[in-house]
Amino acid sequence: MRYKAINIFLFLFLIARINDCYTQNNTPQKTRILFVLDCSQSMYGLWGNEQKMIVAKRLLTKAVDSLRNVENLELALRLYGHQSPLAAGQRDCKDTKLEVAFAAKNHNQIIEKIKSIIPKGTTPIAYSLEKSANDFPPCTNCRNIIILITDGIEECDGDPCAISLALQRNGVVLKPFVIGMSLSVEVADAFKCVGNFYNTETSVAFQNALNVVISQAMNNTTVQVNLLDIHGNPSETDVNMTFYDSFSKQIRYNFIHTINHKGNPDTIPIDPLGTYKLVVHTIPQVTKDNITIVPGKHNIIGLDAPQGSIHLKINGINEYTNLKAIIRKKGDMQTLAVHDIDFTQKYIVGEYDLEILTLPRTYVKAVPVSQSHTTKVEIPAPGMVTVYSNNKGYGSIYVEENNELKWVCNLNEYSTRETIVLQPGQYRAVYRSANSKQVIYSKEIPFVIKAGSSSQVKF
């Protein structure tokens, strides 16, 4: 069933992925607005005492004219339903064209084109949206916005919702805005899946909605992120935070959180057209989903991110090369971080299990991290053993624990002299020459490793 309202003005805002925002490259960001206007035959219908096309021309002309003196702004115009007249049983479902391409100060050209419009054809909304995505020339620092004006529902079996979703998933657009005029419940429901929906009953209400949308597109909106400590104070800082588009999952902004000269979290400009997921890259990271930004205002986003620190140290001379530790949440095997020895790293307040990559492994369980406190973890200094053999062969080193041998490492079968750094403890080395073909020629030598000492094993 085809639903037609007295008048529908549908605003669809598409915003291309921003690779470099204003604060990150200090270059003013360009805004590009593409107007997509319905010129189908149904626009001859009346809205109040005027034709819908006349109302659309007047309001769109006024909007274009109001943008003349806006810096870093370019406009373009795409029409549909204006080239092929309706014929009995026939519709030109590819009747759409970019009539005025993006350029600076082309307002008069757009206005003159709007004045010359004669409604003729059908309403290929989905196809027009699909083609509109290609109207924006490549740009690394632009905000791309589409404003779609229509008086009715899709007439060409296209799916505007599917096109909108595909554009959002691919990171080409954010969730669109839909503004309808006196829509029936059925028509309104059909547009809700396209984007954020607003239904207005009069031309005055529509003009107000248009002003709000343009204000959202042009105004500077700021955000302050409060990283809260254990006491609820916004004292945590100096950590990277990433804003993702909640729908497309693409990265929108990356900032290092900063406390400004006044002692407050610094503010950042954020595009209000969209819903965000914020990831603060603490260890482990903290997140906040479904963040909406109020346009033209200062927005505050709070996240609990209380942190303390862990410092790893060897109690003596460190004979290891590039020794590290694996950090996990208490009772969880997922690796959170790899921590260097003699290094202090911040972690979210809690308890952590440490696996220090010594030989054999050193495990420290339930290490507490408290607010603004550094927990020091010290492990015994290692010793060294040098294993000699007359021939190349096969062997391993085991540590003795509770009358049980636990494998530590294999010997290099191609070497006759090998030095290995080991933690203090009781060990056994087992070896057989590669030239020996009977197990009875296997040899076993026990040895002890003390902190800071050296031992020798000779086969």
Residue 11, pLDDT above cutoff 60: no
User: What does the pLDDT look like over 112-124, one tens digit per residue?
Assistant: 999 999 999 998 9
Higher pLDDT, 141 or 416: 416
The predicted structure's pLDDT at residue 274:
78
Which range among 60-74, 91-105, 133-147, 319-333 shows the weakest confidence by mean pLDDT?
133-147
Domain with CATH 2.60.40.1120 in the chain: 222-304, 383-458
**What does the mean pLDDT of the chain come to?**
86
Rounded to an integer, the average pLDDT of 138-160 is 84
Partners of residue 279 on adjacent β-strands? 242, 287
Q: Is the pLDDT of residue 106 over 80?
A: yes
| 295-325 residue pLDDT tens | 778 899 999 999 999 999 999 889 898 999 9
What local confidence, expressed as pLDDT, does residue 343 receive? 95
Backbone angles phi, psi at 88, to 5 degrees: -55, 115
Predicted confidence at residue 151, as pLDDT, reads 79
Fold of 383-458: Immunoglobulin-like (2.60.40)
CATH code that applies to domain 222-304: 2.60.40.1120
314 touches 381 (CB < 8 A): yes
pLDDT at 18: 35
pLDDT for res 215: 72
What is the tens place of the pLDDT at every residue in 323-358? 999 999 999 999 999 999 999 999 999 999 999 999
Q: Report d(CA 367, CA 182) in Å as an integer.
A: 63
Most confident of the following: 130-134, 183-187, 287-291 = 287-291
Q: What is the pLDDT of residues 36-60, one digit of tens each?
A: 899 999 888 887 888 888 888 988 8
* Residue 13 pLDDT greater than 60, yes or no: no
pLDDT at 20: 37
Q: Looking at the chain, which residues constitute the CATH 2.60.40.10 domain(s)?
A: 307-380
Backbone angles phi, psi at 207, to 5 degrees: -65, -40
pLDDT at 406: 95
Per-residue confidence (pLDDT) for residue 59, from 0 to 100: 86
Query: What is the structure's pLDDT at 124?
Result: 93
Secondary structure (DSSP) of 130-197 = HHHTTSS---SSEEEEEEEE-SB---SS--HHHHHHHHHHTTS----EEEEES--HHHHHHHHTTSEE
Q: Does domain 307-380 have CATH number 2.60.40.10?
A: yes
Q: For the stretch 124-148, what's the b/e string if a residue is b when 16 or more beta carbons lie within 10 angstroms of its beta carbon?
A: bbbbbbbbbbebbeebebbbbbbbb
- Under the banding of pLDDT at 50, 70 and 90, the label for residue 175 is low
Q: In this predicted structure, what is the pLDDT of residue 4? A: 39
Answer yes or no: CATH 3.40.50.410 is held by domain 22-218.
yes
Distance CA(184)–CA(395), nearest Å, equals: 82
Q: Judge whether 275 and 303 are in contact, CB under 8 Å.
A: no
Q: What is the pTM of this model?
A: 0.66
The distance of Cα 123 from the centroid of its chain, to the nearest Å, equals: 35
3-state secondary structure (DSSP) of residue 20: coil
Residue 67 gets which letter from DSSP? T
- The answer, yes or no, to whether residue 24 has pLDDT greater than 80, is no
Report the percentage of the chain scoring pLDDT > 90.
53
Residue 19 predicted with pLDDT over 50: no
**Selected residue with higher pLDDT from 271 and 81:** 81
Between these two residues, 270 and 396, which has the higher pLDDT value? 396
Average pLDDT of the segment spanning 264-269? 86
Check residues 89 and 408 and name the one with the higher pLDDT.
408
Give the pLDDT of residue 203. Answer: 76
Q: Which pLDDT tens digit goes with each residue over 376-388?
A: 999 999 999 999 9
Percentage of the residues of the chain whose pLDDT score is greater than 70: 90
- Mean pLDDT for 32-39 is 90
Supply the pLDDT for residue 26.
58
In the chain, CATH 3.40.50.410 covers 22-218
